[in-house]
Structure 1
Amino acid sequence: MLHPVGPLPAAVYWRRRLLALGCAVGVLGGGGWLGAALASGSPDGDATVAAPSNDAARTTPGLEQVVPSLAAVQVPTAAPSSAPATSEAPAAEVPAGPTAGGPCGDDALGVEVRPDPASAPVGSKPTFQLVVTNVSPAACVRAVDAALQEIILIDGAGDRVWGSNDCFPETTVEQRTLQPGETVGFPVPWSGLTSEPGCAAGRTNPPAGTYVLRGRLDTKVSPDATFTLT
């Protein structure tokens, strides 16, 4: 066996033996692998790969075939408003007036001085009127004490010449209920002489000329009124 005999060279017989031996080893190895596979199941486990069906093999439809085009979808629009558009600004809020029967604030009152007559001779003793009006839409109450009423006389240079409370202030206490639009007049006499607060300075007749009368009821001040001494 180890020394082949034949007409061919010895190397040829060795190659044949090696080839036969390799085939035998391959057959034995394949048989062993097949036996192990049968004993333990499929080498890939029990999972099997299903062949693709005809439906899966079909081409997936494009997105535009599944979702309709946005241009083809009708979007509902809001119905046009029947109310006409306006650019007018909201009305400004009107300040609330006094409560009916409550106190009259300064905003609820109008105060003015009425010189009657509008002129008087130097040294005369005219009487002026302090007029108070409820300009609010509701009745209200206001203190009209004599000490709260005052009229002053101012010359052309802006200097105070006389004041009704300088020398003979009154101390009456009074409240008035003023109806809407109601006007009340309070007479204020003038001696025709100059004065200062407290009446400490000497008193004289102011000269002829044009003066200004300014009145007040407590904190509510009137506009100026013109008065002439002749």
Structure 2
Amino acid sequence: MLHPVGPLPAAVYWRRRLLVLTLLLAVLGGGGWLLVAALTGSGSGGTATAAATTSPTAEPAAEPPALERVVPSLASVQTPTPAPEPPAEPAPEPAPTPGGPCSDDMIELAVRTPGSAPVGGKPTFELVVTNVSTVPCVRVLDAGLQEVLLLDGGGNRVWGSNDCFPESSSDTRTLAPGESVTFPLVWGGLTSEPSCTAERTTPAPGQYAVRGRLDTEVSAEVPFTIS
């Protein structure tokens, strides 16, 4: 083997042997690389398959459009609620003028009674006018502007002080703050009506009410008993 025999020179046979040996090494080396590549590819494929089997692919989260990322949604924008406007205050009433006329708001009208009277009695009623303002004022207190009424339980008119014997006088006064003026009126104990033409009779016993008036100002009603 180490000493080739043949008609050709020995160098020719050595070159042939080297060529065959080189080809053999090349074939063996290429086959080894193919085997390694095959084994490596098989392992990667198995891992990928197992991963695909055991873990499903997660879908990427949907991102909002670019415009929504810059401009907020109208539903998420909170509009400030305007504060309620305070209620309008009423205009102040003009202050009364000292020495001017006493308006109905500046006086208080009340009627006083003895509380009760027997049938046919002649009780005295009093009409009281008081200046309840803070300044002096002038009021016309003529007798023709004064009136006292007797009403039954149903509110019907029974008697009036100006029905049959009306009085007249000229009486204008300046009332100081808190000053009161009293006017007595006597009832004759009989019924009456404004024309004083109807028959006058004695009211029956029962519960009645008395009310006073001074021109346009009217007092509250006061209970009165006829027994």
Q: Give the total of aligned pairs.
A: 143
1:212 paired with 2:196, answer no
Spell out, residue by residue over 1:113-146, the C-alpha distance to the aligned partner (whole angstroms, 9 max, x if none). Answer: 111x111111000000101111111100000000
Aligned to 1:103: 101
The answer as to 2:224 corresponding to 1:221 is: no
Instruction: State the match for 2:158 in structure 1.
Output: 161
Percent of counterpart pairs with the same letter?
Answer: 58
Paired with 1:157 and 1:98, the residues of 2 have a C-alpha distance of 39
SS in 2 for 1:98: coil
Identify the residue that residue 200 of structure 1 maps to in structure 2.
Answer: 197
For residue 136 of structure 1, the aligned residue among 133, 137, 160 is: 133
SS in 1 for 2:122: coil
Q: 2:124 aligns with which of 100, 122, 127?
A: 127
Matched, 1:151 2:160: no
Q: Distance in 2 between matches of 1:134 and 1:156?
A: 31
Between the aligned partners of 2:141 and 2:99, the Cα distance in structure 1 is 16
Q: CA deviation at 1:94?
A: 4.1
| Match in the other structure for 1:190 | 187
Matched residue of 1:147: which SS?
helix
| Alpha-carbon distance between aligned partners in 1 of 2:112 and 2:128, rounded to the nearest angstrom | 7
Any unmatched runs of 5+ in structure 2?
A: 1-84
Task: Decide which structure has greater helix share.
Answer: 2
Contact 1:155–1:212 (CA<8 Å) still a contact in 2?
yes
Question: What SS class does the counterpart of residue 101 from structure 2 fall into?
Answer: coil
Q: Which amino acid letter does the alignment assign opposite residue 219 of structure 1?
A: T
Residue of structure 2 in register with 1:176 after alignment: 173
1-side partners of 2:206 and 2:171: how far apart?
36
Matches within 5 A, 1:18-33: none
Within 2, Cα distance between the matches of 1:97 and 1:131? 24
Q: Distance in 2 between matches of 1:157 and 1:91?
A: 41
Q: CA deviation at 1:99?
A: 1.1
Return the TM-score normalized by structure 2: 0.60
